[in-house]
Amino acid sequence: MSELPQYPPIDPTTFDLIVIGTGLPESVIAAAASTSGKTVLHLDPNPFYGSHFASLSIPEFNSFLNSNSAPPASQSCPETACPSDDPNLSIINLNCRSLYSDLEISSFSPTLLEECSRKFLLDLAGPRVLFCADKAIDLMLKSEASQYVEFKSIDASFIGDGDGALLAVPDSRAAIFKDKSLSLIQKNQLMRFLKLVEGHLRATAASVGTDVNQSEKDLESPFVDFLTKMKLPAKIKSIVLYAIAMADRDQENKEISKQVLKTKDGVDRLALYQSSIGRFANASGPFIYPIYGQGELPQAFCRRAAVKGCIYVSSVEINPNLEFQSSGNYKGVKLASGQELFSNKLLLDPAFTKSSPTSSPDDSLCARFDFLTAQNVKSKVVKGICITKSSLKPDVPNLLVLYPPQSLYPEQSTTVRVLQIGGNSAICPMGM
């Protein structure tokens, strides 16, 4: 990593909130605090915005992952002298930890790397799409961060049938009518089910008589049992569970599934899917994706925060030491440069973890901060990025493919999702 530039001291030195890292959660909170009139300092050691939510060129992507993936255990940030001369202060060092493991990066020839390095933008946090009716979209519209980012529609969704074929997801009346893979009986069954769900969603608390009105006990039951109760065949259940309700794990095998979807949650997901279709005139389906990649989302909130007075400093060496007063209140951070910055509130990038305090403060001081540690991680996401010279489907540059559990191999217990993004989203050359 190149040597970071030397910044003059940050002025002012006292803020209502200090944020370290420009990931999406940190950027949303910085924008909200700035909009509400709070003084906010937003720091990032990277030369780019987005932190672990950034979209990077191939060299930047490889460099970032290599520097943030080894060793698997927490790595210590460079040591700084941080004993406090003030007996009323207790100081806690922060360590850096890896969020990535088992990294495999294909080698590129120098010629190809030079030719393509600036033509691709790869998502660190992706692949992800957004529902048009998602609360995140509502937040962007309400906060006016939407004026700093544009989206492209995901043109189509497909589901793997287990035999190598990709079938269009029949998620609307028009799509069901055009679908040639469903029999007439299956079309009628799926159409009736979607109609019943729509009736349930329109019903008010005082309404009675809809066929899918459920008791509280039924709503807490597994969604797959509700679909069985509706007498839906296995093929239709698979479409509803994994391509519309977006279940992550095998819902049929409750013995191995760690996440069984409840009926109330399944119906809510169907509602989100259905309300996303047609919300925006330029979106052909329920999903959208940011032009220039996922990294545009945190940048949009950072721009909104800056308009409202948030101070941004990037490429700054950050080795913060948390300072606590003897009363247990957080006081501020001391940067690697030695400058002290003061605030009673601190928001940290998840790559930071707490190390042992240098001056042994009371354990209750540490308990005031809920640090993300390896013990908090309940699951991991395995992801891969491929660059192809053609689309999986001709003339469909942006598409989503879903492989339900056991559709690829018998032991497959989770849904595998493939997001293909084409050149019209400005993350790769046209035609790739």
Say whether 98 sits in a helix, a strand or coil: coil
The per-residue pLDDT for 405 is 93
Q: Which one-letter DSSP state was computed for residue 287?
A: E
Looking at residue 190, its pLDDT comes to 84
Distance CA(218)–CA(226), nearest Å, equals 8
Start-to-end Cα distance in the chain = 30
Decide: 90 and 361 in contact? Cβ < 8 Å: yes
- The pLDDT value given to residue 76: 46
Consecutive 10-residue averages of pLDDT for the chain (432 residues):
65 93 94 96 91 89 78 46 58 76 71 71 87 94 94 93 87 81 84 77 50 64 89 89 92 78 90 90 92 95 96 81 65 81 87 57 40 58 87 92 93 93 91 86
Structure-token pair, residue 371? 């640090």
Q: What is the pLDDT of residue 399?
A: 95
The burial class, CB within 10 Å (0-12 / 13-18 / 19+), for 45 is: buried
Residue 292 is predicted with a pLDDT of 94
DSSP 5: P
User: How much is the pLDDT for 297?
Assistant: 95
Contacts of residue 383, defined as CB under 8 A and 6 or more positions apart, other chains included, come to 126, 127
Please, how many CA atoms are within 13 Å of residue 190, restricted to the half-sphere of its CB?
28
* Strands 166-168 and 122-123, sheet pairing: unpaired
Name the pTM for this structure: 0.83
CA dist., res. 367 & res. 365, Å (int): 5
Q: Which residue has the tokens 């793997």?
A: 160
- Give the pLDDT confidence score for residue 109 in this predicted structure: 63
pLDDT at 373: 45
Please give the Cα distance from 366 to 369 (Å, whole number): 6
Residue 85 has a pLDDT of 59
